[in-house]
A and B are shown apart, each in its own frame.
Chain A
């Protein structure tokens, strides 16, 4: 197997005395979608926050051979990793266009930015109609689309997504996941955290199951989808 794009080794994250993530290891290969699934409090969000530099951690996180320890989120983004946070992190008082421009903050190439803006408008046609609107006036689904579009504007090679389906109606969840599949086809590697294990496992190539800060299962997503333990606990099937 070739060198992974993102390698997480023995990751431990503490909140005070409490270890929220207790030494997990996994890898994300170039071009794949890896899903981290698990219940509330399993440590999924904490793992993502450690990777993108929002929380200090022990162990190691290596992106394309570069150790990310001690780097701030803005530095990590410049290395090609974009984090779409839980709750989307849309700037509601700024317009849709301004949100997209902020997403492209780190890029100096005007031509590339203009090209990606067009691409993003094609992938997210509803944003095109709303570029001048304040982002806070968008519906939840549109805001999630904007968050993804904004992350795409950074030209990151790997997106890490925290609960993109949160608070969305089932039809919108389908739409969001279709967009993720499309972004992945265009070459974006994705690390996805989801409580909606069913959807996530249908989208992902591989998946890891987290339980109370430990990684308890890892394998092809299609296998986890039929694994009795996963089905019982997370897919609502006996």
Chain B
């Protein structure tokens, strides 16, 4: 039982990080029906932003989080403005290839600057508590708390504010939205900014929890987060969060019963099974075909 509780906490921690990244995939898909395959590398590079920041200036955790989120948001907006917007009306495959290319550019630029893995300076000196055999560290609580806080904030933003309302409207009908006086390009840029900023938060939290970072780590973690978004129903914000916690739990608990080499096999098998029975994901809805 203790063992189970311990693993549950680990699963929530991992799921929280996946969720922050998955939201970026899902939000961009929601407004543009495009998969931003560079997003995993945006997450990766945000860890390096954090690493560089701490080398230059040992700021406290909250300051690092905010600075990295802002820097990553700028990167997200730059990607949209320079790479994706010129292809807005191009065939969808062009945008997808471009996104993959942008991811490779980010990854290889990082790799050329930092060919080896880097050890993160400690952002945070964790305290650990023991509750009847279950060890919880303050770092775990921080990761979970920051993630859940950001997700609740995002949910509020999307459901209750006028900009959130405009984003939902764009997701439904991008042609009509300008007729409401809403500047579509600004709203799309805002979506990329928020998605990237959440990826940046994930980068900081990930680097705090698993403090060895490398230029290629965005590939696997990015794919996992993308799978989480698809499991939850891509385009759905709540779906991305649900999918991420499902995926995090499956990963953690697979390793408790099977050799760890089976982990990814189980994850992708789960994806296939879910897509067979729920082709639009757990909370996704089929796109409405316009007549």
- Give A residues with C-beta under 8 Å from B: 52-54, 72-74, 77-78, 82-85, 87, 89, 91-94, 98, 101-103, 105-106, 150, 154
B165 contacts A154, C-beta separation under 8 Å: no
**Is B166 positioned at the interface, with any CB of A under 8 Å from its CB?**
yes
Q: A74 — which chain B residues lie within 8 A by C-beta?
A: 178, 180-184
With beta carbons under 8 angstroms apart, the residue of A78, A84, A93, A94 that contacts B181 is: A78
CB distance from B215 to the nearest CB of A (A): 40
A94 contacts B176, C-beta separation under 8 Å: no
30 CB contacts below 8 A, A to B, read A53-B178, A72-B178, A72-B183, A73-B181, A74-B178, A74-B183, A77-B181, A78-B181, A83-B179, A84-B179, A89-B179, A91-B169, A91-B172, A92-B172, A92-B288, A93-B171, A94-B168, A94-B169, A98-B165, A98-B168, A101-B162, A101-B165, A102-B165, A102-B166, A102-B182, A103-B180, A105-B166, A105-B182, A106-B180, A106-B181
The count of chain B contact residues (Cβ–Cβ below 8 Å) is: 19
CB distance from B283 to the nearest CB of A (A): 13
B181 contacts A85, C-beta separation under 8 Å: no
B179 contacts A82, C-beta separation under 8 Å: yes
- Give B residues with C-beta under 8 Å from A: 162, 165-166, 168-169, 171-173, 175-176, 178-184, 288, 290
Q: A154 — which chain B residues lie within 8 A by C-beta?
A: 180-181
B178 contacts A73, C-beta separation under 8 Å: yes
CA distance A213 to B166 in the complex (A): 35
Contacts beyond the supplied A53-B178, A91-B176: 20 A-B pairs with Cβ under 8 Å: A52-B179, A54-B175, A54-B178, A54-B179, A74-B184, A77-B178, A77-B180, A77-B181, A87-B290, A89-B179, A91-B172, A92-B172, A93-B168, A93-B172, A102-B165, A102-B169, A102-B180, A103-B180, A105-B180, A150-B180
Q: B172 — which chain A residues lie within 8 A by C-beta?
A: 91-94
CA distance A185 to B166 in the complex (A): 31
CA distance A98 to B172 in the complex (A): 13
CA distance A84 to B176 in the complex (A): 9
B178 contacts A91, C-beta separation under 8 Å: no
CB distance from A29 to the nearest CB of B (A): 23
- A78, A89, A92, A150: most-surrounded residue (chain B CB, <10 A): A89
CA distance A154 to B180 in the complex (A): 8
CA distance A73 to B180 in the complex (A): 8
Q: A73 — which chain B residues lie within 8 A by C-beta?
A: 178-179, 181
CA distance A94 to B171 in the complex (A): 11
Q: B166 — which chain A residues lie within 8 A by C-beta?
A: 102, 105
Q: A103 — which chain B residues lie within 8 A by C-beta?
A: 180
The 5 A-B residue pairs with the shortest CB-CB distance, nearest first, are A89-B176, A106-B181, A73-B178, A77-B181, A74-B181
CB distance from B27 to the nearest CB of A (A): 15
Q: B168 — which chain A residues lie within 8 A by C-beta?
A: 91, 93-94, 98
Q: A94 — which chain B residues lie within 8 A by C-beta?
A: 165, 168-169, 172
CA distance A87 to B179 in the complex (A): 13
CA distance A5 to B178 in the complex (A): 22
CA distance A72 to B182 in the complex (A): 10
- A52, A54, A87, A91: most-surrounded residue (chain B CB, <10 A): A91
Q: A72 — which chain B residues lie within 8 A by C-beta?
A: 178, 183
CB distance from A56 to the nearest CB of B (A): 13
CB distance from B170 to the nearest CB of A (A): 9
CA distance A183 to B168 in the complex (A): 29
CB distance from B289 to the nearest CB of A (A): 12
Q: A52 — which chain B residues lie within 8 A by C-beta?
A: 179
CA distance A89 to B172 in the complex (A): 10
Q: A93 — which chain B residues lie within 8 A by C-beta?
A: 168, 171-172
Q: A78 — which chain B residues lie within 8 A by C-beta?
A: 181
Q: B176 — which chain A residues lie within 8 A by C-beta?
A: 85, 89, 91
Q: B171 — which chain A residues lie within 8 A by C-beta?
A: 93
CA distance A74 to B182 in the complex (A): 6
Q: A92 — which chain B residues lie within 8 A by C-beta?
A: 172, 288
CB-nearest residue of chain B relative to A78?
B181
Q: A89 — which chain B residues lie within 8 A by C-beta?
A: 173, 175-176, 179
- B162, B179, B181, B183: most-surrounded residue (chain A CB, <10 A): B179
CA distance A102 to B161 in the complex (A): 11
CB distance from B220 to the nearest CB of A (A): 34
CB-nearest residue of chain A relative to B159?
A98
Q: B169 — which chain A residues lie within 8 A by C-beta?
A: 91, 94, 102
Q: B180 — which chain A residues lie within 8 A by C-beta?
A: 74, 77, 102-103, 105-106, 150, 154
Q: A102 — which chain B residues lie within 8 A by C-beta?
A: 165-166, 169, 180, 182
CB distance from B262 to the nearest CB of A (A): 40
CB-nearest residue of chain B relative to A106?
B181
